[in-house]
Amino acid sequence: MSREEAGPDFVTALARGLEVLRCFSDHPTAMTLTELSSRTNLARATVRRIIITLEHLGYVKATDDGFIVTPRVLELGTAHTLASGIWESANPYLTELVKITNQAASIAELDGSDVFYVARVAVPKMVSLAITVGMRLPATNTALGRAILAFMDPGEVEQILQIPSRSSIYPNHVHDRAELLADLETIRKQGWALSDEDLHPAVRSVAVPLRTDDGRVFAAMNIAAVASEVSLMQLVNEFLPVLQETALSIGKAYSLHRAAPQRTLGA
């Protein structure tokens, strides 16, 4: 929903505060007021007032080099992860998948034109692209994203392609529209997506959609490997079958979780 569609109930001050807070999501070091002003296109004085408010609320703190977020911001992302039930449903299966393959595995949801990581079990591999829960990447340039987009209505996909990515990661390979649509058609037929160093020159990945019992795609999961260690043939022939089996188990567990009466504090 755009600001115009929200009408007079739209709170500009809140939107600006969230925009400033989002700047820290893909910036691992401290940021100055000038940097925040540049990234948000807000006046430095406006950014200063927002930062003072966030600091008072405990979401950011000042350092010698600028401002950084505090662990309190994790409450915001954790709330969604816990409420959705994905982590609770997937964690044991995701952990077992990593033990079997000795490769990192992740689950991501679609958020705008990006995928947003909601669960991950990593392995100590030397890869310069460090993925963490809460990170976002351009959906069209990831196997995870294409594994979701392929099973959406074409009209929805077209709308998503018009949304600018909020990820700071620039892909190694950019798909043009014709190439992307052809790839989505292939994925729709075969049921899985492959990324051969599309996002990062050292990483290849295979992904499958996660479905509820009624067939609805609610996320996607992948196995990511170091390109110099795992061939495309190994990724597809060896890792894909166990990934597909794990996806079925997670889909069933998630469906059961959603169907069960939700517990409340004090109940």
- DSSP-assigned letters across all residues of 158-204: HHHHTSPP---PPPSSPPPHHHHHHHHHHHHHHS-EEEESSS-TTEE
The residues facing 120 across adjacent strands are 106
pLDDT tens readout for residues 28-53: 678 999 999 998 999 999 999 999 99
In the three-class reduction of DSSP (H, G, I as helix; E, B as strand; rest coil), residue 52 is classed as: helix
Q: Compute φ and ψ for 256, nearest 5 degrees.
A: -65, -40
Give the helix/strand (H/E) hosting 104: strand 104-111
Instruction: Give the C-alpha separation, 119 to 81, whole Å.
Output: 8
pLDDT tens readout for residues 50-107: 999 999 998 899 999 999 888 777 666 655 555 567 878 899 999 999 999 999 999 9
The structure's pTM equals 0.74
Q: Name the CATH architecture for the domain at 76-259.
A: 2-Layer Sandwich (3.30)
The predicted model gives 199-217 an average pLDDT of: 92
Residue 4 has pLDDT above 70, yes or no: no
Instruction: Give the C-alpha separation, 55 to 191, whole Å.
Output: 47
In the three-class reduction of DSSP (H, G, I as helix; E, B as strand; rest coil), residue 219 is classed as: strand
Instruction: Give the C-alpha separation, 169 to 142, whole Å.
Output: 11
Burial class (CB in 10 A: 0-12, 13-18, 19+), 20: buried
Residue ranges of domains in the chain: 3-69, 76-259
Q: Which CATH number fits domain 3-69: 3.40.50.2000, 3.90.1200.10, 1.20.1250.20, 1.10.10.10?
A: 1.10.10.10
